[in-house]
Structure 1
Amino acid sequence: MNLEGKSAIVTGAGRGIGKEVALLLAKEGASVVVNDPGVGRSGEVTEDKPADEVVAEIKAAGGTAMANYDSVADYANAGRMVKSCVDTFGKIDILVNVAGMLRERMIWNMTEDDFDQVISVHLKGHWNMCHHATKVMRTERYGRIINFSSDAFKGAVGQCNYSAAKAGIIGLTRSIARECGRYGITANAMCPMAATRMTVNDAVIAGWKRRLDAGLLTQAQYDARMAMPGPEFVAPMVAYLATDAAEDVNGQIFHAERSRIHTYYFGEEARSIFKQDDNGMFTVDELISMVPEGLMQGIPNIAPKEDSK
């Protein structure tokens, strides 16, 4: 077992990707805090306790786990979760942040609460957990942090709150990697593709169909989403990043799905234009000419204006 003697927290571990990650970490020998408050897809309160079910499954297979029901969006609760892991298992070696929610609306229909709640759970929740965990990991001079972003960081229709949070998680992860690498702590992010209650349900499928009909999705993109694989295919890469063998993998972004894992060419310089005279100061008239001919040559508008109907 590759994680024998390690202790881990997995947030959002009651269902979907988080559950598969928690099960695999436990199978590889880690003691796991299974965190899930049992809320609905949009953050609504329910009576569900999925964390208990996952803990029972881990224990039935001979593993070690405990349930936690706190919200990662609460700073103090996040600290108590980390303390509970240390108090129960002696340390915290691995943190996997999967917890999330969705409030999907176009920006002009989105409420302030829709925006704030998604940012709070995703981006602030990641920061809360990483903040408290790194305090302990830094003294131990060891840690593995795996955060969950999404391909939505590129921009997604009806998900500006979610996209903003997921892009922020990439910046957060890369910053943690730079700050904490010297202490033996790695931080990497996942952009998974998997069918879960967060990504596929009747309402989501209906939305995809509307976007296909409106030309916002290609037929190939629609077909790929309809054939989306399960979350179990994401877990192995997460478990790998949690091992000692991944000590030099730091500050990276990975996509994982069935039969394919890839990295991203993220944030690097692609094209440039230059000006040497006039102290390097471009004029607006020059940019009107040079940007289309240089920086944007062959790059289409991602959502061109349509004729009014």
Structure 2
Amino acid sequence: MGICEGRVVIVTGAGRGLGRAHALAFAAEGARVVVNDLGVGLDGRPGPESPAAAVVEEIRAAGGRAVAHGGDIATTEGAASLVTTALDAYGRLDTLVSNAGFLRDRMLVNLDEEDWDAVMRVHAKGHFLPLRHAAAHWRAEAKAGRAPDARIVHTTSGAGLLGSVGQGNYAAAKAAIIGLTLVAAAELARYGVQVNAIAPAARTRMTEQVFGGLDALPEDVSPLVVWLGSAASAGVTGRVFEAEGGRLTVMEGWRPGPTADKGTRRSPAEAGETARRLLAEATPPHPVYGA
């Protein structure tokens, strides 16, 4: 009996890398898994393969239960059918893990609008739409007297926490996911839904071009994701975790630092003088990746 025995779990972007590792780990802990992957390349453009089906076969070969979903979860139709696939196959939905994403790295002065929109779409919208449709299902269940014990795990990044040179679009999208996580945790608690995010670091086809020497594996991140997606994580919501190899860190975001209240409006010179004094008292920020 694994810690996810009886649960139904959706993992997006589960054909390769982190998503594949999560799907296999959930299945090993007894979950029935919906494996979503659009089968695109690193830049989000269509590829010839169907990696979701291959992961389903891996899970079934190991004695687990899984079905594939190849829809685009950054569309209303794709996100809705993702939830429907879980309900049609297994009659319930307990956990949503949003992991799908790709990169189109450019320095800001070379970043065109299409590359901005494409990355924001798959990361930010690709997290929002599955959440929105899963949450609607869980709200309906709660209102019908069938209180869910549901979980959502989002995937952000150190780029979203600290910034990353050459990844302005990706960093902005991953920061948006943190904001979405905090709001969702507050809004969905009444329906029995917990929402958290992870900022993983692991060697995948996405990261090997950016962090060529990274030794941590996707399988090192998955145990935390499985725990967050299980009933065992009761009471944990609205949190962001970093996970790399054997290291786990609870990230602590924006909170008030040094402050000064004059009680009335300052002149520009006074505002500058006060700002410099407060900055001298403040903790220096962590450097941006690649700076």
Is 1:171 aligned to 2:158, yes or no? Answer: no
Report what 2:220 is aligned to.
233
Is 1:193 aligned to 2:186, yes or no? Answer: no
Measured in 1, the distance between the counterparts of 2:156 and 2:131 equals 14
**Code of the aligned partner of 2:198:** M
SS at match of 2:108: coil
Sort the Cα spacing of 1:300 and 1:9 in 2 relative to 1 into closer, same or farther, 3 A.
closer
Contact in 2 for aligned 1:173/1:251 (Cα 8 Å): yes
Is 1:266 aligned to 2:253, yes or no? Answer: yes
Contact in 2 for aligned 1:147/1:188 (Cα 8 Å): yes
Measured in 2, the distance between the counterparts of 1:75 and 1:117 equals 16
How many correspondences in the alignment? 279
Q: Deviations over 1:173-195 (max 9, x none)?
A: 11000001111100000000111
Query: Greater CA radius of gyration, 1 or 2?
Result: 1
SS at match of 1:234: helix
Q: Deviations over 1:62-106 (max 9, x none)?
A: 000011111111111110111111111101100000000111001
Q: Deviations over 1:37-82 (max 9, x none)?
A: 1100001111111111110110001000011111111111110111
Measured in 2, the distance between the counterparts of 1:301 and 1:130 equals 31
Measured in 1, the distance between the counterparts of 2:285 and 2:176 equals 25
Question: Could you list the runs of 5+ residues in structure 2 that have no partner in the other structure?
Answer: 142-146
SS at match of 1:198: coil
Is 1:255 aligned to 2:230, yes or no? Answer: no
SS at match of 2:125: helix
SS at match of 1:120: helix
Contact in 2 for aligned 1:13/1:19 (Cα 8 Å): yes
Aligned CA RMSD, in angstroms, stands at: 1.6
Report what 1:215 is aligned to.
none
Provide TM-score, normalisation by structure 2: 0.92
SS at match of 2:256: coil
Provide TM-score, normalisation by structure 1: 0.87
Is 1:61 aligned to 2:46, yes or no? Answer: no
Cα offset, 1:248, TM superposition: 0.3
Sort the Cα spacing of 1:31 and 1:112 in 2 relative to 1 into closer, same or farther, 3 A.
same
Cα offset, 1:228, TM superposition: 3.2
Cα offset, 1:7, TM superposition: 0.5
Measured in 1, the distance between the counterparts of 2:231 and 2:132 equals 22
Question: Could you list the runs of 5+ residues in structure 1 that have no partner in the other structure?
Answer: 206-224, 304-309
Select between 153-162 and 287-296 the one with higher mean Cα deviation. 287-296
Cα offset, 1:245, TM superposition: 1.5
Contact in 2 for aligned 1:146/1:241 (Cα 8 Å): yes
Contact in 2 for aligned 1:273/1:295 (Cα 8 Å): no
Contact in 2 for aligned 1:193/1:228 (Cα 8 Å): no
